[in-house]
Structure 1
Amino acid sequence: MPLPDPAQAGLFLLSLLAMVPLKFALVYLVGLACFWTGNFHGLSLSRVAITNILSGALVPIALYPGWLQTICAWSPFPGIVSTPALIFLGQVRGAESAYLIGTQLLWVAVLWIGARLLWRVAVRRLVVHGG
């Protein structure tokens, strides 16, 4: 496997940097859901399973049936594994790489805004016992 050229490597690194807050936002949202469920373990296992399937971590998204590829395309999950992998492998280049990185950043913003709004609602449910 040849290494990507310097421009492609830069786009790959940018995609990796965008992946970190994207993954954090998803984990944070699942953590906020514990205000309503009271149990993190089940939610965490579900998040891992859904993320592994829809991100392309288990099977490349290109091998999914069309309807599942559409679901993946409209979700933030490909930005976690598929986008950086496609850029690194050179399967997307230039403008298409920039579009995928922009999509990652858009999802970061959407999830962060959603998390902030959910936090405002969740903190009202907080009950602390003890001194």
Structure 2
Amino acid sequence: MPNKVYRKILHMGIQNEMEYRTNYWIQLVSFFVPMMTQFFLWLAIFRSSGQGTIVGYTFQEMLIYIIMAAVTGKLVAAGFEYEIAGDIKEGGLGKFLVQPLNYFAYRILKFLGAKAVQSVLVIIFAAVVLIWLRIGLHVPVGWDSALRYLIALPGALLLNFVIYYALSGIAFWLTESTGLFYTLSLIIYIASGSVFPLTIFGVTIAKILGMLPFSYIVFFPVNMITGKLTTTEAITGIGMQWLWIAVILVVARWVWSSGVRRYVAVGG
């Protein structure tokens, strides 16, 4: 029975993602806008500087980075923290506490179900673009690098999930947490390398950001495909992804166990 219930939750995540199809396609296409903005920005920077390498990237490497950063950001994006905050605030969490259903499992399966729909189309788009870059513009995209990226992607997806799941526990202490979630999401968006490569902040700050879990969400997997990492660095980075997942899971468990003890189901 539990396995059947959890399979149904996974299927429900897929159905919810496809329920409003116009909105789904609009959201899917929306990540093209920042990608094109980044392209023209860096094109102007490289042309005006006259340098072959800026912040450690050639123009070809930067082109791969901005495309794959947008793709990766779309693939791992959360958003469920607002739903969790609503469950806590409006009393909806109470029904999960009185039923033999694990709320963490419910959330992650629903999240993965939604991502299953997005991932197929986004990965196809990424593959087409990379093939076009390799054949049409002669950008050196290695298939071994693409394979490394795919190996690092599940870790990035799960890491981003546990980070936001832990942060969503803040709603136990704050009645209205939307503003805080938005601020933290913006910080994570920048610190993960979704906007620019972390090397743009300078060596010292880049090293500091590299020690945080956020860099393993976008910056690390994207650099797998740009070819900036050696095999040793790639293996170490994947190990760090899963180490951070384990650490943040412990933190999330503590936050949620503390929050549930003070939770009062009002409404729902």
Q: Normalising by the residue count of structure 1, what TM-score does the alignment of the two structures yield?
A: 0.90
**1:44 matched to 2:211:** no
| Gapped regions of structure 2 (runs ≥ 5) | 1-138
**1:118 matched to 2:255:** yes
Q: Which amino acid aligns with 2:141?
A: L
Structure showing greater Rg? 2
Cα displacement string for residues 50-70 of structure 1 (whole angstroms, at most 9, x for unaligned residues)? 112211111211111334223
Q: Which amino acid aligns with 1:2?
A: P
User: Identity of paired residues, percent?
Assistant: 31
CA contact (8 A) 1:30 1:43 kept: no
Provide the residue aligned with 2:208 in structure 1: 71
CA RMSD of aligned residues (A): 1.6
Name the CA distance, whole Å, in 2 between partners of 1:4 and 1:125: 52
**1:105 matched to 2:242:** yes
1:85 to 201, 212, 222: 222
Structure number with the bigger relative contact order (C-alpha 8 A, sep ≥ 6) is 1
Name the CA distance, whole Å, in 2 between partners of 1:78 and 1:71: 10
For residue 5 of structure 1, report the CA deviation from its aligned partner: 2.7
Distance 1:97 1:65, change over 3 A: same
Name the CA distance, whole Å, in 2 between partners of 1:5 and 1:52: 27
Name the CA distance, whole Å, in 1 between partners of 2:210 and 2:251: 19
Q: Normalising by the residue count of structure 2, what TM-score does the alignment of the two structures yield?
A: 0.46
**1:3 matched to 2:141:** yes
